[in-house]
Structure 1
Amino acid sequence: MKRFLLLFSMIFSGLLFSQTQLNLIPYPQKVIINKGTSEIPNQILVREVNNDSLHLQVKVYNDFLKNDSIRFLVSNHGVPKDTFVGLEKVKSEVDGSNDGYKLEINDKRISIKYHNENGKFYAFQTLIQLIKQFSTGKKIPNLLIEDSPKFAWRGMHLDVCRHFFTVEEVKQYIDYLAMYKLNTFHWHLTDDQGWRIEIKKHPKLTQIGSKRKQSMIGAYVDDTFDGKPYGPYFYTQDQIKEVVKYATERHITVVPEIEMPGHALAALSAYPELACTKGPFESATKWGVFDDVFCPKEETFTFLQNVLDEVIQLFPSQYIHIGGDECPKTRWKECAHCQELIKKNNLKDEHGLQSYFIQRIEKYVNSKGRKIIGWDEILEGGLAPNAAVMSWTGIKGGTEAAKSGHFAVMTPGSYCYFDHYQGDPQTEPNAFGGFTPLEKVYSYNPIPSELNAEQSKYILGVQANLWTEYILDFKQVQYMIFPRLFALSEVGWGTSNPENYKEFENRVVEHFKILDKMNINYAKSIYNISGKVIPSKNGVSYELSTSQNPNGIKYAIDGSEPKSNSATYQNPIPVSQSMTIKSAYFENGVLKSAISSQDFKTSKTTGKSITLEHQPSENYSFGGAFTLVDGIIGNVKQLGKTWLGFQGKDVVATIDLGEKTQFSEVYFNTLDNKGSWIHFAKSATISISDDGKNFKTIKEIGKNEILKAKGKINLKVGNQSAKFIKIKIGNAGIIPAGNPGADSKAWLFVDEIGAQ
């Protein structure tokens, strides 16, 4: 009989759990749904003995409920009759983590056990989400949650240099992090385009460096400007203190970033004597990377130490971010002082000089009881002894750091750059480039697979970055981070599971209701039609999908806009000739999504097997090699889904046509935007083969011909017949002096490789 009752209890519990979906983000480590519910009164009393700060804490918790009718109220007298929260600080760790908590709801009593104040705060964030979900019915399920974060660093970055945001907007940003249990706010305060923090010992930084004469607008290839003065915009030290206090109350650590030795034009505009040349300088009006950087002379280090003294007084964070990225060596190569410094200190080259620079700064920061963290270029020439690495160019920097016993925060652009497109670039606001949809963010695992268990301990966590070249106001900030912040939250908490992405997506949709109440401008890209090109028997097919009912997808292949009575999508659409496919989602005959449009230009290479000798950069690798034969010509203003990007590498592609095929023309496109280190190809070679081993060159062109064609390469090769086509597209190599990013590896972008 007991065995029968146990089995019945397990079945009942399972049924109850399936019927009670908890829309929690991040999802907890352990959830048990029990029988019964507890009422949610308009005032939920909170009790904790000997806690003088409880009133302040409850005020903060209520800030997160300001769009709801329910409030927490402190009560220290007796046991309330209504639903109440009882708090208990426990000596032992909860579920293996100091930041963990145990939340139990049972017959009007809500019990929270925690080890530290972080754990208590996270418990309340979970409780607040539950209240928001179940407030309509005024009943919350009885349950037990045991929870703790996997990673110690769960961060979001905000660039306030390209475009500035007010103190109130920064506070809102911090609220968003706190709501979803992120615990680090990386505040990017200085760059070429603006210096945003008051330094009292060097007032010209904000008097001069906090403004620029105009700003670049439009897509990165347009090179156009608005002609409007920007600034002066900066935060006073009192405002900085206000933000840090606000963040601290929400259990957020604010990590300031003071860029060095590169990205220094705004500082040099105020203090030109800190450069290798005389100037004059001005805050940058363009985006990109610039040759004028801090010169490693004694007065520069004195200046930076003065700056850091004031920064350290303002920010209690363990780490101070010193940038260290994208520092061209052009000026250092031409500078007599720099060359003498290299000889004097037996440095190998200018990369060694960068390491010397970073190590001097680190030694000073360490003397103040703090540590430095920097972008992964601080690995150049050797990593400073106690430095941590923020790995953005991929996972290599973080992997190298962890293997050498240095802490690392993983923030690879291919997963964690929220200035990338999150939906079809043709239906999205202008963005920097790349393609990082919600599902891709959710799929990220911050622990590199090649690290062993001991090395993995050096991965502090994960962070997403929001660079604001193309983000003009705070509404656009909201749009770019939501809903991707939800995915980041769950990745950082350690409960993401790419296999259960659809279940996560369902929770995301429910959280849109919370964002709606808060009047937050979030992206609805997951509602739009997503298109994917797949190989098919006669070339390629176009596969459409949506997070909604797939029967609502309507499409047209004649270039017209789909209507409610257009063809209903059922199977991938064959693309056997050049065409335009437009699609949209309809519900009860009403258009519910943006209209997606995709042009196809088919050729004899479309859908064929292709291999690459060198793989593209992680940031620009969407679709892999197949992107080059999918029938889609890249949009020069959108580096999202349709281009592959290679830094310092040639494109060497071999296309198997399947059988001997006649053709007389080969085409492809490359891009040029030197401000972003993107250069036209320097050469192209076409070869053919019948066996895939022995190739004969049939056409070669050089840089002049590519420049003349402005990157749109269409090569007449005569009447040819072959089974294999090999094309080698030469990368420009090392960027020459006089160009942004000089002495660095150039980017090569290539789209469709076609043959007619």
Structure 2
Amino acid sequence: MIRYLFLFSVLLSNAFFSQTQLNLIPYPQTLQLNAGNFTISDILILSNELPKEETDYFKKKLDANIKFQHSGKSDAQLVYSQLPKSNNSQQNNEFYTLEVLPKQILIKSYTKQGYFLALQTLIQLIESNQNNKKIPCLKIEDQPKFAWRGMHLDVCRHFFTVNEVKQYIDYLAMYKLNTFHWHLTDDQGWRIEIKKYPKLTEIGSKRKESMIGAYVDNTFDGKPYGPYFYTQEQIKEVVKYATERHITVVPEIEMPGHALAALSAYPELACTKGPFESATKWGVFDDVFCPKEETFTFLENVLDEVMSLFPSQYIHIGGDECPKTRWKECAHCQELIKKNNLKDEHGLQSYFIHRIEKYVNSKGRKIIGWDEILEGGLAPNAAVMSWTGVNGGIEAAKSKHFAVMTPGSFCYFDHYQGDPQSEPNAFGGFTPLDKVYSYNPIPSELNAEEAKYILGVQANLWTEYILDFKQVQYMIFPRLMALSEVGWGTSDQKKYKEFEGRVINQFKVLDKMNVNYAKSIYNVLGKVISNNSNGIAYELSTSQNSSGIKYTLDGTDPTATSQTYQNPIPVSKSMTIKSAYFENGQIKSAVSSQQFTISKTTGKTITLEEQPSENYSFGGAFTLIDGIIGNQKQLGKTWLGFQGKDVVATIDFGDKTPFSEVSFNTLENKGSWIHLAKSAQIFVSDDNKNFKLIKEIGKDEIQNSKGKIKLNVGNQNSKYIKIKIENAGIIPAGNPGADSKAWLFVDEIGAN
């Protein structure tokens, strides 16, 4: 496992660089520009000795613009040499060199995989220089930092055809990702044919309808969905297609939770008698696999067929979001806990995972699972996919287990990537391109030896709100490019703007491929900033020239003659600011709109006793006093989320300030484990030490207000106000995620 990062250096003259921009993603580890160019003629002469499958891919990618001939090595323009096996442990199977000379292009590598990666670099060089038909002479020595560079696709919530899955794999290959994580089973659908259990696809691959719109709307389309699944022949076809592109397909078979589709077909595998049906809602459900012998027999048989189709070293067994409600009520489960001296139901989950791992290991494979497989103790050889944050990966690495880092706050591509008000409906969160690019997969808590257990990085695309493949494209592009450079190990936050320029250049390639990528990068971004601790200002920016930003303060759409943005806009009263980017008098972006509701807390100093989850922490504590009211249907950048924690916020007015009303917003979305607050208390103080309780409300009042809280607190005059909002605690039985810690979402704390 090689994690050596070459020192990044570009050896070139300033004059030459000013004329040449290398639009490569991911950027190579070392690149030396030399004098001269290689001219791309209508015919490119290829050496007869080039590896065939990889070269056929190269020709197919470029055949619209270039014709190809084959010749001996001495006459060829593209030549390949296989490097002798190296004793240098810092060079791996994906290492390659690419040298462009005035008359010839030379590629060297240890393996065909390295050759294939070199071709991806060459394709980008050719595509970005098609106008002048020249590519600069250069020498690249390159290899990735991380062995696992992955993208995930959920085909259970919404299904995608074999051809669409192949397109997805092509996108990974273009940007040198090497792992395709195929999420094949879940509550909402079973998508892989298992010949021993035909009812899995006869029954489990369909559902009677699907949830549509925002989760809180609780609206359904009334249309039967499915049956949709992949036959084993189609699976083999996809695996072969990926293998030809040097991409490993890792299948995921969910257990012990997310099992409703399987239980709808084989209800005897549950703790209760059912009946069950594939879920029509999104979220987490109480009915899971019961850890009895017939269940393990079933799963072992399923895994036998899965392993016969997928040659990957790792088999993903899920392991996430498994409610323990049914196990607590199940006599068999309780007896199993006693018989095996398990501590509790979390210990039973560990027992379940250990059983499955032992079986998978007996077949010469390894398991990987979401970080909940750490519950009750990690199986001996298991790898962890750390999604709830980075702690799962840290715990795994410190105990000498491999981990793939995929934290939701950086790597969940079902999150919004632009202003939620101008984006298609998404799951929630806010993960723009620059945030993905800023991610470092190696946690700072690990020492050099422990860091060796970080296999790499992956982004996940869950498809609850993604109805078709055009939307898949929209959600992964251009964020996949940022992930690519993070995984390669050449991302540099200080050079983000330069990376952004390379991304925009790549849009030309995506346009030719008819890819529906997100253009959020062009949109005007708004950021609320403190205005000398005495109010707020609205800072606007764009990837383009900021002089092209036009804005209005009266709620009307901006035009080419509207006010030009120069400095952050002071916001001293409630208003709506709209902005857009213009070039040559023409609008080039979506219109961004932001409504502000100003109160006496807006822009003041705020501290939190507990910090929000990193997945829902955009803007930090300042989000609670930034003058923006969170949208109840969009868990984007305007909410802070806390799992299992109370919110205790103290706001410093600066001076004694009169007020008589306090307001805040909390949220309910039980399918996503989000519950209204249990209670709230308001305190005041003049010294930030001695606080007086002035108001207290309970669950009923919060429930009746539907989370939009406005409290009359009498005539107050204080320097500090403290609000304690109590988390609902452990989710009760009968709710999705029962026995787990509830989420508390809070927004804008106001006083008037």
TM interval, short-chain normalised: over 0.9
What are the residue-to-residue correspondences of 1:510-521 with 2, within 5 Å? 510-521=505-516
Amino acid at match of 1:20: T
Select which of 282, 287, 295 maps to 2:290: 295
Which structure 1 segments of 5+ residues have no match? 1-9
Give the CA deviation at 1:441: 0.1
What are the residue-to-residue correspondences of 1:588-737 with 2, within 5 Å? 588-737=584-733
Q: 1:221 is matched with which residue?
A: 216
Q: In structure 2, how many angstroms separate the alpha carbons of the residues matched to 1:439 and 1:74?
A: 43
Q: In structure 1, how many angstroms separate the alpha carbons of the residues matched to 2:560 and 2:132?
A: 36
SS of the equivalent of 1:16 reads helix
1:656-690 superposed Cα distances (whole Å, 9 cap, x missing partner): 00000000000001111111101000000000000
Note if 1:84 corresponds to 2:78.
yes
How many percent identity over aligned positions?
Answer: 78
Amino acid at match of 1:213: K
Which structure 2 segments of 5+ residues have no match? 1-9
Q: In structure 2, how many angstroms separate the alpha carbons of the residues matched to 1:714 and 1:534?
A: 25
Q: 1:458 is matched with which residue?
A: 453
Amino acid at match of 2:61: F
1:182–1:489 Cα contact (<8 Å) kept: yes
* TM-score normalised by length of structure 1: 0.97
Q: In structure 1, how many angstroms separate the alpha carbons of the residues matched to 2:67 and 2:443?
A: 43
Note if 1:434 corresponds to 2:429.
yes
Q: 2:43 is matched with which residue?
A: 43
Q: 1:119 is matched with which residue?
A: 114
Give the CA deviation at 1:65: 2.3
Note if 1:16 corresponds to 2:16.
yes
Count of paired positions:
741
1:112-155 superposed Cα distances (whole Å, 9 cap, x missing partner): 11011211110010011101111221111110000010000000
Amino acid at match of 1:298: E
1:408-452 superposed Cα distances (whole Å, 9 cap, x missing partner): 000000000000000000010000000000000000000000100
Q: In structure 2, how many angstroms separate the alpha carbons of the residues matched to 1:655 and 1:312?
A: 57
Note if 1:204 corresponds to 2:199.
yes
Amino acid at match of 1:428: E
Give the CA deviation at 1:463: 0.1
Give the CA deviation at 1:17: 2.7
Q: In structure 1, how many angstroms separate the alpha carbons of the residues matched to 2:657 and 2:409?
A: 37
Give the CA deviation at 1:73: 4.2
Select which of 477, 489, 496 maps to 1:494: 489
SS of the equivalent of 2:216 reads coil
1:93–1:115 Cα contact (<8 Å) kept: no
Amino acid at match of 2:557: E
Give the CA deviation at 1:19: 2.4
Q: In structure 2, how many angstroms separate the alpha carbons of the residues matched to 1:671 and 1:604?
A: 23
Select which of 107, 117, 133 maps to 1:138: 133
Give the CA deviation at 1:15: 2.2
Change (3 A) 1:453 1:746: same
Give the CA deviation at 1:78: 5.1
SS of the equivalent of 2:280 reads coil
Amino acid at match of 2:320: D
Amino acid at match of 2:518: A
SS of the equivalent of 2:62 reads coil
SS of the equivalent of 2:511 reads helix
SS of the equivalent of 2:274 reads coil
What are the residue-to-residue correspondences of 1:417-428 with 2, within 5 Å? 417-428=412-423
Change (3 A) 1:309 1:71: farther
Amino acid at match of 1:264: A
Q: 1:5 is matched with which residue?
A: none
2:577–2:593 Cα contact (<8 Å) kept: yes
Q: In structure 1, how many angstroms separate the alpha carbons of the residues matched to 2:742 and 2:525?
A: 32
Q: In structure 1, how many angstroms separate the alpha carbons of the residues matched to 2:23 and 2:147?
A: 24
1:212–1:231 Cα contact (<8 Å) kept: yes
1:86–1:109 Cα contact (<8 Å) kept: no
2:665–2:746 Cα contact (<8 Å) kept: yes
Q: 1:531 is matched with which residue?
A: 526
Moved more, 154-163 or 534-543: 534-543
Q: In structure 1, how many angstroms separate the alpha carbons of the residues matched to 2:593 and 2:102?
A: 54
Q: 1:391 is matched with which residue?
A: 386
Change (3 A) 1:12 1:457: closer
Give the CA deviation at 1:156: 0.1
1:164–1:233 Cα contact (<8 Å) kept: yes
Q: 1:4 is matched with which residue?
A: none
Give the CA deviation at 1:60: 1.5
1:182-204 superposed Cα distances (whole Å, 9 cap, x missing partner): 00000000000000000000000
Amino acid at match of 1:184: T
Q: Name the Cα RMSD after superposition.
A: 1.2
1:281-317 superposed Cα distances (whole Å, 9 cap, x missing partner): 0000000000000000000000000000000000000
What are the residue-to-residue correspondences of 1:54-453 with 2, within 5 Å? 54-66=51-63, 68-75=64-71, 77=72, 79-80=74-75, 83-92=77-86, 96-453=91-448
1:699-732 superposed Cα distances (whole Å, 9 cap, x missing partner): 0000011011111100000000000000000000
2:73–2:79 Cα contact (<8 Å) kept: no
1:531-590 superposed Cα distances (whole Å, 9 cap, x missing partner): 000000340000000011111100000111111111100110110000000001111111
Amino acid at match of 1:247: A
1:390–1:408 Cα contact (<8 Å) kept: yes
Amino acid at match of 1:120: Y
Give the CA deviation at 1:749: 0.4
Q: 1:555 is matched with which residue?
A: 551
Q: In structure 2, how many angstroms separate the alpha carbons of the residues matched to 1:149 and 1:78?
A: 29
SS of the equivalent of 1:751 reads strand
Note if 1:575 corresponds to 2:571.
yes
Q: In structure 2, how many angstroms separate the alpha carbons of the residues matched to 1:93 and 1:499?
A: 35
SS of the equivalent of 1:134 reads coil
1:99–1:149 Cα contact (<8 Å) kept: yes
Q: In structure 1, how many angstroms separate the alpha carbons of the residues matched to 2:73 and 2:290?
A: 67
1:191–1:266 Cα contact (<8 Å) kept: yes
* TM-score normalised by length of structure 2: 0.97
Q: 2:5 is matched with which residue?
A: none
Amino acid at match of 1:24: L
Q: In structure 2, how many angstroms separate the alpha carbons of the residues matched to 1:321 and 1:12?
A: 46
